[in-house]
Amino acid sequence: MNSLFRPLTPIARFLSRMSLLTALLLALFTPLQGLCAEHEPYSLVEEGDFSPHEKGIHHYMLLCIDAWNVDLSKQGYHTDGLILVTVDEVSRRVMLTSFIRDMLIVRPDGEWGRINNIFYLNGQDQAAMEKILYTINRHFDLDIEKFIAVDFSSVESIVDAVGGVDITISAREARYLKNYSISASSTTPAIDGAGTYHFSGHAAVIYMRIRKVATLSGSTQDVGRTERARTVLTTIADNLKDISYDGALDLLDVVMDKTIMTNMTGDDFMNALTLAMDLKGTRVENIRMPVDGTYRLEPEAGMSTQWINTAANREALHTFLFGTTFEVVDE
């Protein structure tokens, strides 16, 4: 027999197998390109140095957990919806700021990660929610203190409580919604191509979750999702422009009943209701973080994440929120 094809001895077979095992382990545990990458540092503001906001500014962080009928005794939830509601009672403005879920941030533990993972990684309780506020404050130099956490079922109930919402959709969005198998009765009329439809709560949530189809403005992926969320919230505000005080109290009962978690007291909710009634009918302004031209794709730990220019976005957000604020002085 040719020596080149001589069978391996038991020792040689053992060493060969060990070599293959070593190669496999190296392949599994050696970081891939773009995995846990070195990122350009962020310019962060430390707690205690956050800029105090102007008189009359109120921030409420809305956090949507990515599930129907959330059971907080179980694990595995993320906060895919992050929208800041800012009310300026002095200059009489109502503003929505949405944050994309795959925004790359420095977590409270000092590690890089996606902003929607903070809740998942930190116990899924009120303290975890407050870590999200801390993270946003640190990256954008805000002083958000209050949050309300809901889930998809909560949003469905709130939209139904205001009587549904009118939304204009494209032909591609119409095909997506029909293929998603939402019931024909969940919109009025039943969806049949591009147009404006009256959406029930369930249909509105499905619409807000569309990611792979562009919005009417051309936004896709998480940027599109944040746009759709702002569209639904803005439409809700429009629906409430003529609401009575008793009607507002009934709606507040629904919101409080469907809230999964909050650090707001009953007095906080009543104060927010008073503000809302005073400013009802006010045009809702909105912005997305990050703004166009200030972010780029940078994978982190195998996930798709967006590195942002913190300084540029902080400036854009402060200009939006506070640029037209003024104080009325009594003479």
For residue 160, is pLDDT > 90?
yes
The tens digit of pLDDT for each residue in 190-209 reads 999 999 999 999 999 999 99
Q: Which domains does the chain carry? A: 33-152+259-325 (3.30.420.590), 163-239 (3.40.630.190)
The tens digit of pLDDT for each residue in 269-297 reads 999 999 999 999 999 999 999 999 999 99
Q: Which residue has the tokens 């540029």?
A: 312
With the C-alpha atoms ordered 117, 119, 121, 124, is the resulting torsion angle positive or negative?
Answer: negative
Give the pLDDT confidence score for residue 19 in this predicted structure.
56
Rounded Cα distance between 165 and 156, Å, is: 11
**Average pLDDT of span 83-106:** 96
- 23 band by pLDDT with thresholds 50, 70 and 90: very low
Average pLDDT over the chain, rounded to whole?
86
Q: Are 173 and 213 in contact (CB under 8 A)?
A: yes
Give the pLDDT confidence score for residue 224 in this predicted structure.
84
Q: Are 120 and 110 in contact (CB under 8 A)?
A: no
- 304 band by pLDDT with thresholds 50, 70 and 90: confident
Burial class of 121 by CB neighbour count within 10 A (0 to 12, 13 to 18, 19+): middle
The tens digit of pLDDT for each residue in 131-157 reads 999 999 999 999 999 999 999 999 999
φ, ψ (nearest 5 deg) of residue 77: -95, 150
Q: How many Cα neighbours within 13 Å face the side chain of 95?
A: 23
Q: Are 124 and 77 in contact (CB under 8 A)?
A: yes
Q: Are 62 and 81 in contact (CB under 8 A)?
A: yes
For residue 13, is pLDDT > 90?
no
